[in-house]
Structure 1
Amino acid sequence: MNREDCTYGRFWGGWSQAERKVLCLEPPDTWQLEPVAALRLTALHAQPPRVPGHREYLGAILGLGLDRACLGDILSDPEDPCVMYAFVLEDKLDFLAQELHQAGSFSVRAEPCETVPERVLAEPDRELHDTTVSSLRADAVLAAMMHTSRTLAAQAISGGKVEINHLPLHSAAEPVYAGDLFTVRGAGRWRVKEIGGTSRKGRLFITYFQY
């Protein structure tokens, strides 16, 4: 949203820390139903630790003919390994509840749920790191988080190896904002947690973590 100077939109993925989100454009004085709903996924007759996981559920949902864009985060229940929760576009909720009966070799039950338990939505503790950058250009921030040079970071970007918020990053000069997620093919993922003030030498403080 910051990149397009749009003041009447937001990204939403069903919960505050969602990694995958949809863009909601809401002009002033309008009201819309939330576009994302939750689906409770239960593996029937499964014996932990042999239970369906993210890969099995993702494959099963895509196997029903839905596009990946219809599916948001898939979260496990830390207290019940047989249960997972999937955030999906609201208009696909009933279809999945009716048609999703198998995930991999496991029989499953999919049912809409009004609320997802807080234990599922709790953000895991991340090891935060603080550093400074010369600017909020993508190559400068990525280089700092990866502990490499700006030249190598820029080469990764120009080589098509970098995504920001799941979209290809084409320019090393792209501005970076708090919350941005960097994915580098073959290297890992980093998220900019916060952007702070300026040091005495004019460098900018950032806080980040690696997945």
Structure 2
Amino acid sequence: MDRDRIYKMLDNDVDKIAIAHGLDCAEMAADKNMIKETHFLDPYHVDILTRATNSVFGVKALVEGGFPDSERKKIVFYPDYFMKEDIEPEIAFVEITGTNLEKLTHRDYLGSILGLGLKREKIGDIIVTDHGCQVVISKDILSYVINNLSKVGSIDVKVDEIFPHELKITPSKVKEINGTVASLRLDAVASLGFGVSRTKVGALIKSDKVKVQYKAINNPAHNINEGDIISIRGRGRMEVAEVGKLTKKNRIHLNVKKYL
């Protein structure tokens, strides 16, 4: 693997650390004929790593996030003489329940788990339900989360281990927004989707708080394409569902989906 070439594709140290760890896992699997898995990764990092390691001799990769449509996944590298069916990623599942949890959000649950001193890389997807949430986590933190997470915000909660068949996978709730923009610049499109001023969005972009296709972008003029996922730290994410025709005033029709 040409690490220097791979690192040149990355814009910040956070990305480089995540990718470096993944490359180390692939090389260790090859050199020591062992199973080695990454932390949970977002789709951007998964894509880079799978492409960067697909030519590592004697090694195959299994991408797994706990359920088929999960967003955050681990990559498990293993010797090619192993059977894929015998590979079991170190993934566990917990359910957080309590009373009066209806108004809590993904951000509330994630913040409380991270408040235990855990790193984001140990946590996979969070599925918010009507009565709490279910969380995919690394198996090595299972007991710690069960024994130490007692509150989400100011609300008392209970944490129990569950199994994959108990996951309550439901379609994401979205709000469709139709409008027009002067151009497909990131600041213009995000302003429409998140309902904040273009000036404020521009400041967030320059502060490295905005990602496009899970990659941090700090250029407000970055061009957006149909199908792109845009996220703002602390504000959620949106998808550019359709780029429509021009209006008579040369503005562009957009249909975006804001995930709730």
TM-score per shorter chain, which class? 0.5 to 0.7
Which one of the candidate residues 179, 182, 192 is aligned to 2:239?
Answer: 192
Which one of the candidate residues 116, 124, 127 is aligned to 1:75?
Answer: 127
Q: Deviation digits for residues 185-210 of structure 1, max 9, x if unmatched?
A: 6xx33402413343364735332326
Q: Does 1:140 align with 2:188?
A: yes
Which one of the candidate residues 204, 207, 210 is aligned to 2:256?
Answer: 207
* Alpha-carbon distance in structure 2 between the residues aligned to 1:93 and 1:76: 20
Q: How does 1:60-139 map to 2 (within 5 A)?
A: 60=113, 63=116, 66-78=118-130, 81=131, 84-88=133-137, 92-97=138-143, 100-104=146-150, 108-117=158-167, 120-139=168-187
Query: TM-score normalized by structure 2?
Result: 0.51
User: Which secondary structure state, in structure 2, belongs to the residue aligned with residue 115 of structure 1?
Assistant: helix
* Alpha-carbon distance in structure 2 between the residues aligned to 1:154 and 1:56: 28
User: Which secondary structure state, in structure 1, belongs to the residue aligned with residue 133 of structure 2?
Assistant: strand
Structure 1 vs Structure 2 CA RMSD? 4.6
Structure 1 unmatched runs, 5+: none
Q: Does 1:49 align with 2:92?
A: no
User: 1:56–1:104: 8 Å Cα contact kept in structure 2?
Assistant: no
Q: Name the residue aligned to 2:27.
A: none
Structure 2 unmatched runs, 5+: 1-42, 52-62
Greater strand content = 1
Aligned AA for 2:243?
A: G
Q: How many residues align?
A: 191
* Alpha-carbon distance in structure 2 between the residues aligned to 1:84 and 1:71: 13
Aligned AA for 1:195?
A: E
* Alpha-carbon distance in structure 1 between the residues aligned to 2:237 and 2:145: 36
User: Which secondary structure state, in structure 1, belongs to the residue aligned with residue 125 of structure 2?
Assistant: strand
Instruction: Tell me: higher relative CO, structure 1 or 2? Use CA pairs within 8 A at least 6 residues apart.
Output: 1
